[in-house]
Chains A and B, each alone.
Chain A
Amino acid sequence: MAEITLKGLAHSYVAAPGGAEDYAIREMDHVWQQGGAYALLGPSGCGKSTLLNIISGLLSPSRGEVLFDGQTVNDLPPEARNIAQVFQFPVVYDTMTVRDNLAFPLRNVGAPEAHVAERVKEVAEVLELTDQLGRKAKNLTADEKQKVSMGRGLVRDDVSAILFDEPLTVIDPQLKWKLRRKLKEIHKRFAITMVYVTHDQLEASTFADKIAVMYEGQVVQFGTPSELFETPNHTFVGYFIGSPGMNFLDVAVRDGRVMAGEIPLPVSEALCAAVAEAGTTNVKLGIRPEFVEVHDAPVEGGMQARVEHIQDLGTYSIIDLRLGDMSLKARIDEDQPPPAEIAYLRFPGERVGLYVDEFRVEVQA
């Protein structure tokens, strides 16, 4: 059990990296606290797996340090870091039975057989593998194999942390749900630090207390699911979290008013001042589709938009809107009738975020 600290960490697969684009991990500092359930969320190729392999020691970082409880472990191989890792595709030892597979990590360090048997029994029960214990691992189905792979991680009760690299990819949806709950249960019971890599926001938010969103080799935001939803730190987080993602409007100040293209936006003076001070042309306003107010009649401070498409998803509808030359989406509940052709939109002031060069800027009211 350990607190894992990443200090000035960077990694490149290129021998002599030039610019930032050569780095799979750009310089970052991060702390995973002891006993936390974390998710590492990001699109494919953003460096999630690289980061995981650096933590476990399968990969040696180009720069920076990895610390377990304040001790540098850079030079320690995975075997010495006492860390468990579950990979995306199942790895089982074909010739062994399920029981021997689960016992393998414990037997390798000479754990007493009584303890091994007890742990194997416990983990097998949690993963519902008890009936399979005597079978050869070679003959299992893909999801049974993956359960065995996970079991080999969970069987070790003294690990610094357990790292999961998209472990449920090969598992069918129903079992996925169950296993994720199991993992959470196990986390509660043993209080082991768990880092769970995924590209699925639902998976991340059901498993983790705190989510680190990775984008282009950097952790762009680290927070609870509701923080990520309500106040995304980076336009990528806004776009990646939520369904559909956040609306972003390119804005500029003209004649003392905040303009989105040709449309003046009714925003607070403080926000207007902040946009004016930004000092760059890359200024965006972000608002979640859930927070866009949609009216079917003119309202005070409402902007007129054209309705382009309505998608009825049962309990809510998603409306594609055209505001001037920009498109945005709004999400309304089923009890609100959607406007037919013209909608009047309002952006509640406290729900609008200002993004300068893609990062969120707090506006003093």
Chain B
Amino acid sequence: MNKVYNNRAWWLILPMLLLVAFSAIIPLMTVVNYSVQDVFDAQTRYFTGTEWFVQMLNDPVLQSALLRQFAFSLTILAIEVPLGIGIALLMPKRGWRASAVLILVTLPLLIPWNVVGSIWQLFTRGDIGLMGWSLRELGYGYNITSSPLDAWVTIIIMDVWHWTPLIALLCYSGLRAIPEAYYQAARIDRASRWSVFRYIQLPKLTNVLVIGILLRFMHSFMIYAEPFVLTGGGPGSSTTFLSQSLAIMATGQFDVGPSAAFSLIYFLIILLVSWVFYTAIMNMQKDKQSGEA
């Protein structure tokens, strides 16, 4: 057989390669480059190997920021996902009400991050903020600048307010995609409202929920602007999350090496958690090979 090999077609992937190089590989490699060196100035640098990584992993400040970060992400997921599903179930299905509710629900998503922070900063002020003032008038000494609990609760409420609509919208579209025949069959099978949710709606929402949870996890794990504007990471360091610690280190103290190492660790954690979550969900849908069959 005389097969002609023409490998010129490989050139066609060049544009894509360039694009990916500039958008991902080169920036990432720059960070990798810094993470294994100690840079003093343009001429003076020392190779440090894994030193920065070890140091970062053992840094108690970052360790506690990491724990705080997980606590925050898990809390907002635990609230936003059920709440979003609930809102989606309650939203009207058709007519002008559906459009009106959709717009109302979507509104918080359109507000930029630091604006959200500013809004809540004003909202929670004890002297002029509606919420802060009201709570104080009701006799609760609400103060996000001195009480870590108040600060935490406020940041969580803020995030729930800002991002639950995303879950609700995704679920709403997922629910609309379920054919009417499923609901009819369920009525014929005399299924309860709970069974309809558990065996029809929830399974059909799995795919949009996976997307929603992944987005919300990644997003919340990188949260920066809102708490930065609202509490500045305080009181103390009680609401200082990972991005803020990183920003302080990289741009405040100009510790390029450690912050590069830390960035990579940060990135790998997000990647790892997302991958584990996604794989676990996808495995749930497969047949169990050694099941009862």
Residues on A facing B (Cβ under 8 Å): 53, 56-58, 77-79, 83-85, 87, 89, 91, 93-97, 104-105, 108-109, 132-136, 138-139, 149, 152-153
Cβ–Cβ contact A135 & B188, under 8 A: no
In the bound complex, do residue B189 and residue A104 qualify as a contact, i.e. CB atoms below 8 Å apart? yes
Within 8 A of A (CB), among B267-293: 285-287, 291-293
- Chain A residues lying within 8 Å of B181, measured Cβ to Cβ, are 87, 89, 91
User: Would A134 and B188 count as touching, CB distance under 8 A?
Assistant: no
Nearest B residue to A57 via CB reads: B187
Bound CA span A2–B208, Å: 44
A135 CB contacts on chain B under 8 angstroms? 287, 293
Closest residue on chain A to residue B285 by CB atoms: A138
Q: Closest approach, in angstroms, between the C-beta of B195 and any C-beta of chain A?
A: 7
Check B187 against A134 for contact (C-beta < 8 Å). no
Q: Are A77 and B187 in contact (CB under 8 A)?
A: yes
| Known interface pairs A78-B188, A87-B184, A105-B188; 18 further A-B residue pairs with C-beta atoms within 8 A, sorted by A's residue number | A53-B184, A84-B188, A85-B184, A85-B185, A87-B185, A91-B181, A91-B182, A93-B200, A94-B203, A94-B204, A105-B190, A108-B189, A108-B190, A133-B293, A134-B291, A135-B293, A139-B287, A153-B188
Cβ distance A96 to chain B, nearest Cβ, rounded Å:
6
Verify A93–B199 contact, CB threshold 8 A.
yes
B191 with A134: CB separation less than 8 A = no
Taking the closest CB of chain B, its distance from the CB of A186, in whole angstroms, is 18
List 27 A-B residue pairs with CB atoms under 8 Å apart, sorted by A's residue number: A56-B188, A57-B187, A77-B187, A78-B187, A78-B188, A78-B190, A83-B188, A84-B188, A85-B185, A87-B184, A89-B181, A91-B182, A91-B184, A93-B199, A93-B200, A94-B203, A95-B199, A95-B203, A104-B189, A104-B195, A105-B189, A108-B190, A109-B190, A132-B293, A134-B293, A136-B285, A152-B189
Contacts of B195 in A (CB 8 A): 104, 108
Q: How far is the CA of A87 from the CA of B168 in the complex (A)?
A: 31
A225 to B192, CA, bound (A): 41
Q: Could you say which of B179, B181, B187, B188 has the most chain A C-beta atoms within 10 Å of its C-beta?
A: B188
B interface residue numbers (CB < 8 A to A): 179, 181-182, 184-185, 187-192, 195, 199-200, 203-204, 285-287, 291-293
A136-B203 CB under 8 A given contacts A83-B188, A85-B188: no
- Considering the chains assembled together, what is the distance between the CA atoms of A66 and B199 in angstroms? 31
Least CB separation from A138: chain B residue: B285
The docked-state distance in angstroms from the alpha carbon of A104 to that of B190 is 9
- The contact of B190 among A79, A94, A153, by CB within 8 Å, is A79
- The residue in A83, A109, A135 that gathers the most chain B C-beta atoms within 10 A of its C-beta is A135
Cα–Cα, bound, A85→B187 (Å): 10
Cα–Cα distance between A77 and B286 once the two chains are bound (Å): 36
Q: Are A149 and B291 in contact (CB under 8 A)?
A: no
- By a CB distance below 8 angstroms, the chain A residues around B293 are 132-135
Please give, as numbers and ranges, the residues of chain A lying within 8 Å of B184 by CB-CB distance. 53, 58, 78, 85, 87, 91
- Partner of A93 from the list B179, B190, B203, B291 (CB cut-off 8 Å) is B203
B199 x A108 contact (CB < 8 A): no
Given contacts A95-B203, A134-B292, A138-B285, contact A79 B187 (CB under 8 A): yes
A119 CA to B184 CA, complexed, in Å: 23
What are the residues of chain A within 8 A of B203 when measuring CB–CB? 93-95
- List B contacts of A136 (CB < 8 A): 285-287
Q: Name the residue of chain B whose CB is nearest to the CB of A89.
A: B181
Shortest A350–chain B CB gap in Å is: 47
A109 to B184, CA, bound (A): 17
Query: How many whole Å from B188's CB to the nearest CB in chain A?
Result: 5
Given contacts A133-B293, A134-B291, A134-B293, contact A149 B188 (CB under 8 A): no
Point out the residues of chain A lying under 8 angstroms from B200, CB to CB: 93
Enumerate chain B residues within 8 angstroms of A138, measured Cβ to Cβ. Answer: 285
Q: How far is the CB of B185 from chain A (nearest CB, A)?
A: 4
Give A95 to B199 CA distance when docked, in angstroms: 7
**How far, in whole Å, are A77 and B287 apart by their CA atoms in the complex?**
35
- Complex contact A104–B292 (CB within 8 A): no
Residue of B nearest to A105 (CB): B189
In Å, the complex CA distance between A134 and B199 comes to 17
Known: A89-B181, A93-B200, A134-B291. Contact between A58 and B187, CB under 8 A?
Answer: yes
Nearest B residue to A88 via CB reads B181
Residue of B nearest to A84 (CB): B188
The 5 closest A-B pairs by CB, nearest first: A134-B293, A91-B185, A105-B189, A79-B190, A134-B292
- Chain A nearest Cβ from B152, distance in angstroms: 36
Q: How far apart are B198's CB and chain A's nearest CB, in angstroms?
A: 9
A154 to chain B, nearest CB (A): 12
Complex CA gap A134/B293 in Å reads: 4
A97 to B285, CA, bound (A): 11
Complex alpha-carbon distance, A275 and B285, angstroms:
69
B188's nearest neighbour on chain A, judged by CB, is A85
- Chain B residues lying within 8 Å of A84, measured Cβ to Cβ, are 188
Residues of A within 8 A of B199 (CB): 93, 95-96, 104
Could you say which residues of chain B place their CB within 8 Å of the CB of A94? 203-204
Give chain B nearest CB distance to A259 CB in angstroms.
Answer: 53
A3 CB → nearest B CB, Å: 20
Name the residue of chain B whose CB is nearest to the CB of A108: B190
Distance, CA A97 to CA B286, complexed state (A): 11
Q: Which residues of A contact B204 (CB under 8 A)?
A: 94
Which residue of chain B has the shortest Cβ distance to A131 in the bound complex?
A: B293
Complex CA gap A93/B204 in Å reads 10
B179, B181, B182, B204, most chain A CB atoms within 10 A: B181
Chain A residues whose CB sits within 8 angstroms of the CB of B188 once the complex forms: 56, 58, 78-79, 83-85, 105, 153
CA distance A313 to B52 in the complex (A): 86
Report chain B residues within 8 Å CB of A95. 199, 203
Instruction: Enumerate chain B residues within 8 angstroms of A96, measured Cβ to Cβ.
Output: 199
